[in-house]
Structure 1
Amino acid sequence: MLLQKVKKVPQRKCIVCQERDSKKGLIRIVKNKEGEISLDPTGKANGRGAYICKSSECLKKAIKTKALNRAFKIEVSDEVYENLLTQLEAYEQ
């Protein structure tokens, strides 16, 4: 009898609503060494990452509560938040 090894699915937590989901169920926002913040749909870009749900509502809440400021320990400009929102809406299509 062969025992099949069960693969562990990496879990991550949304920094906005605190819901846990698989790594693929959430979208990663990354801050690279230059301090640039962008959406990382691959989940493999270099830099500090923070995960949020794949919905623009969650990102809008992150903007309101300044969740990315806390996650990256820097001041994130409104321009960056708007850019992320545009990227996420394009990604949702």
Structure 2
Amino acid sequence: MAGMRKTPLRKCVITNEMRPKRELIRVVRTPDGDVQIDPTSKQSGRGAYISADPEVIQEAKKKNILSRHLKTNVDAELYDLLLAEAEGLKK
């Protein structure tokens, strides 16, 4: 019983699905205002989780959803980095 751990769940800001934290990618707006991918999920700042699914990332790019959640402008380059990160998680 002591070895059983609860899997942390987080909500994807695009699909609104609760998924295990390892299946999601965290994007953070740092206190300096920079927007970047947070692979450790420990950086300080306003964060948003997004599913590691290329279709979901494309939808987020099209609707500019991350800009609204992070309350700042998100460059299109970040979405390309998210797609690359999603491909890395699938392997």
Q: TM-score range by the shorter chain?
A: 0.7 to 0.9
5+ residue gaps, structure 1: none
Deviations 1:12-52 (A, max 9, x none): 11111111111122111111111111111221122111001
Q: Is the 8 A contact 1:38 1:84 kept in 2?
A: no
Does 1:21 pair with 2:25?
A: no
CA RMSD of aligned residues (A): 2.2
> How high is the TM-score relative to the length of structure 2?
0.77
Q: Secondary structure of the residue that 1:57 maps to in structure 2? A: helix
> How high is the TM-score relative to the length of structure 1?
0.75
5+ residue gaps, structure 2: none
Structure 1 runs, 4 residues or longer, greater than 6 Å off: none
- 1:7 Cα offset (Å): 3.4
Distance change in 2, residues 1:92/1:32 (3 Å)? farther
